[in-house]
């Protein structure tokens, strides 16, 4: 078995998954723009939720939004059912990520979230999924399988959602005129922080 061929196949598969996600967004621009507008004018927090690999992607996206000007954090969907719903208010906006749109742990908190008065953006691959049906807004990220030979390991699906989420974060950031000096304020540490200090964007 040629290791390089496997590597190239997986890279191509994941790149194509992002292209498919881009085409899906382009085919339903109105919902994308509604979501952008909703996040841009949010008075509360943007809260990402999910379980498993979708949860890991949600954690990363919460960090990206926070660092680019949109206060955000992650709540594990299972923990939400055991008290963490108290972190959510009606001024917030929840983003629930589930590739299948049928994960029980992801669906379980949504009724309670709605009772709080909070709207939900569902990110899933299936428009006819239960997540899509009970969400206030739905972003469809279509995926025709995963990159491993068993079609099981979240790879293409998680990459596509990550790319869509990153694109949302940067879109909102630029529309809200997030400046380099604002970015600098949120990144005072590490090599990036040192560069920002050296460039005079962060005061010592």
Q: What is the pLDDT of residue 181?
A: 86
- Work out how many domains the chain is built from and give that number: 1
Residue 42: exposure state from Cβ atoms within 10 A (0-12, 13-18, ≥19): middle
Does pTM surpass 0.85?
yes
Q: Would residue 187 count as lying in a domain?
A: no
* pLDDT score for 114: 98
Average model confidence (pLDDT) for the chain?
A: 95
Q: Note the pLDDT of residue 182.
A: 84
pLDDT digits (tens, 9 = 90+) for 51-98: 999 999 999 999 999 999 999 999 999 999 999 999 999 999 999 999
Q: What is the CATH number for 9?
A: 3.40.50.10490
Residue range of the domain that includes 13: 3-178
Q: Is 24 helix (H, G, I), strand (E, B) or coil?
A: helix
Q: Is residue 192 part of a domain?
A: no
Q: What is the pLDDT of residue 203?
A: 67
| Residue 139, in any domain of the structure | yes
26 within domain boundaries? yes
**What per-residue confidence (pLDDT) applies to 204?**
58
C-alpha angle with apex 130: 127 to 136, nearest 5 degrees? Answer: 75
Residue indicated by tokens 């190239």: 8
Please give the average pLDDT of every successive group of 10 residues along the chain, which has 204 residues: 94 98 95 97 98 98 97 98 98 98 98 98 97 98 95 97 98 94 83 76 64
């Amino acid at each position: 078995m040629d290791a390089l061929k496997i590597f190239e196949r997986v890279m191509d598969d994941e790149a194509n998954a992002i292209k498919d996600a881009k085409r899906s967004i382009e085919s339903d621009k109105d919902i994308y723009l509604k979501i952008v507008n909703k996040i841009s004018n949010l008075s509360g927090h943007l809260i990402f939720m999910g379980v498993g690999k979708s949860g890991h992607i949600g954690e990363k996206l919460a960090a990206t939004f926070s660092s680019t000007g949109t206060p955000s954090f992650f709540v594990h969907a299972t923990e939400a059912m055991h008290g963490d719903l108290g972190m959510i208010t009606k001024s917030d906006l929840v983003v629930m990520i589930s590739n299948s749109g049928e994960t029980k742990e992801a669906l379980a908190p949504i009724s309670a979230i709605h009772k709080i008065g909070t709207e939900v953006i569902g990110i899933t691959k299936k428009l006819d999924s239960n997540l899509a049906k009970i969400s206030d807004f739905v972003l469809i990220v279509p995926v025709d399988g995963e990159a491993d030979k068993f079609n099981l390991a979240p790879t293409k699906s998680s990459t596509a959602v990550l790319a869509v989420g990153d694109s949302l974060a940067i879109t909102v950031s630029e529309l809200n005129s997030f400046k380099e000096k604002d970015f600098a304020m949120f990144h005072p540490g590490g090599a990036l922080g040192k560069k920002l200090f050296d460039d005079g964007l962060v005061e010592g």
